[in-house]
């Protein structure tokens, strides 16, 4: 299969400094995508073999990129193609509101709590994100476009669990298309102690998910929930959707998890996630990186589930291979054997 979905990280900079952000544990320098690289990617995406879905996201806030408006114009509003943007919606001027209202199929806005929790986690007022969504809805109505193009992303932990039901209500009031809940991906022992998933499901979380499902159903809202406990089935949405990520620096990674290096806590065990690139988009066409033998073999392995599972391996406490993502005990590289995304704990659009 060709590349069907491309996540483009226009920048790794952000206008917020959220308490749970991956960027807090990075050693790499934050940067915008170089103009030549953006130009190369744009011409390939718009070419006949370009992916059907573009997601402007990554680890960073796409709206602070100098190319954001250009990207909306280039990738939005194409017949049979889809443009998704993930954003904190913190600083949208009127021009941006109009462009997002008209060009974007789905804008996923991060709302992780009501006023108190949102402010603590994001260091910004919730009212700004709400006002941006309302302005986008109003701009769509003025343009005669049907419904809202906004969704809400909620990263759940014990720090904001009390607000989850209110955020679902808020999303319904804002006429959101969808609410996606994801568990926090812990990068410190303190965060690890605050997650709501485990080997077996937590009773409080089970009750909460039942309440959220019923609330969403009553309000006619589409709700996507993560798993609460370890299940045998593994499903990597990046591989299943024939997706790749190109970082602001041009690295072509198979997924968000392997796009940058950071520490990760997997059911209490620390792991160093190492950035893994199958090619450099600044030098090599995306299709050639995608068809390269190492990348194609990796996708086959993950798609057919022929890789080990550290999460239920008796050797995990003594095994050095599960200390980082460089390789697994089947000689697979990089290692997906501990991945919280393929277990359904971490979700993204």
Rg of the chain (C-alpha set): 20
**Which of 154, 209, 238, 295 is close enough to bind ligand SF4 by CB under 6 A?**
238
Instruction: Decide if residue 294 touches ligand SF4 (CB under 6 A).
Output: no
Angstrom CA distances, 239 to 64, 158, 183, 274, 309, stand at 29, 30, 20, 18, 17
Tokens 């969403």 belong to 216
Stretch binding ligand SF4 (CB under 6 A), from 101-109, 221-229, 264-272, 303-311: 303-311
Fill in the DSSP letter of residue 97: H
Lookup: tokens for 113? 């709590």
Q: At what angle do helices 126-142 and 94-103 cross, to 10 degrees?
A: 60
Of 216 and 273, nearer to ligand SF4 (C-beta) is: 273
Q: For 4, how many CA atoms within 13 A lie in the half-sphere containing its CB?
A: 8
Closest-CA residue to 156 (of 125, 128, 180, 126): 180
Instruction: Decide if residue 6 touches ligand SF4 (CB under 6 A).
Output: no
Of 207 and 330, nearer to ligand SF4 (C-beta) is: 330
Instruction: Decide if residue 184 touches ligand SF4 (CB under 6 A).
Output: no
Stretch binding ligand SF4 (CB under 6 A), from 16-24, 139-147, 177-185, 197-205: 16-24
Quote the distance between the C-alpha of residue 345 and its chain's center.
Answer: 12
Instruction: Decide if residue 163 touches ligand SF4 (CB under 6 A).
Output: no
Q: At residue 143, what are phi and psi to the nearest 5 degrees? A: -85, 0
Instruction: Decide if residue 227 touches ligand SF4 (CB under 6 A).
Output: no
Tokens 């590349």 belong to 3
Of 77 and 131, nearer to ligand SF4 (C-beta) is: 131
Site map 307..326 versus ligand SF4, x via CB under 6 A:
-xxx--x-xx--x-xx----
Could you tell me whether strands 106-110 and 243-246 are parallel, antiparallel, or unpaired per DSSP bridges?
Answer: unpaired
Stretch binding ligand SF4 (CB under 6 A), from 17-25, 156-164, 172-180, 264-272: 17-25
Instruction: Decide if residue 8 touches ligand SF4 (CB under 6 A).
Output: no
Chain contacts with ligand SF4 (rule: CB under 6 A): 14, 16-18, 21, 23, 59-61, 88, 236, 238-239, 254-255, 257-258, 302, 308-310, 313, 315-316, 319, 321-322, 328-329, 336-337, 339, 341-342
């Amino acid at each position: 299969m060709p590349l069907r979905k491309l996540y483009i990280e226009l920048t790794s900079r952000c206008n917020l400094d959220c308490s749970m952000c991956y960027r807090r544990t990075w050693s790499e320098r934050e940067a915008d995508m170089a103009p030549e690289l953006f130009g190369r990617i744009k011409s390939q995406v718009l070419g006949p073999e370009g992916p059907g879905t573009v997601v402007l996201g990554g680890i960073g806030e796409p709206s602070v990129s100098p190319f954001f408006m250009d990207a909306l114009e280039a990738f939005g509003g194409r017949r049979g193609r889809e443009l998704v943007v993930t954003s904190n919606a913190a600083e949208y001027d009127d021009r941006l509101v109009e462009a997002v209202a008209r060009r974007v199929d789905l804008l996923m806005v991060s709302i992780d709590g009501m006023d108190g929790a949102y402010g603590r986690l994001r260091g910004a007022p919730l009212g700004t994100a709400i006002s941006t969504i309302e302005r986008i809805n109003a701009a769509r109505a003025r343009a005669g476009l049907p419904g809202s193009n906004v969704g809400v992303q909620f990263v759940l932990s014990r720090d904001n669990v009390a607000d989850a039901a209110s955020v679902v209500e808020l999303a319904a009031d804002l006429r959101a298309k969808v609410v996606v809940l994801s568990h926090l991906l812990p990068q410190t022992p303190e965060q690890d102690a605050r997650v709501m998933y485990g080997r077996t499901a937590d009773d409080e979380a089970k009750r909460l998910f039942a309440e959220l499902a019923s609330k969403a159903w009553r309000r006619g809202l589409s709700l996507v929930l993560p798993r609460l406990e370890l299940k045998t089935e593994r499903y990597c949405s990046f591989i299943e959707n024939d997706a790749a990520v190109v970082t602001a620096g041009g690295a072509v990674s198979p997924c968000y998890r392997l796009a940058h290096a950071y520490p990760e806590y997997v059911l209490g065990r620390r792991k160093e996630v190492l950035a893994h690139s199958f090619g450099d988009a600044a030098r090599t066409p995306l299709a050639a990186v995608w068809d390269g033998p190492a990348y194609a073999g990796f996708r086959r392995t993950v798609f057919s589930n022929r890789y080990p599972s550290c999460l239920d391996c008796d050797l995990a406490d003594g095994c050095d291979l599960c200390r980082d993502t460089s390789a697994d005990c089947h000689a697979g590289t990089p290692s997906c054997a501990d991945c919280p995304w393929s277990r359904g704990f971490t979700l993204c659009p």
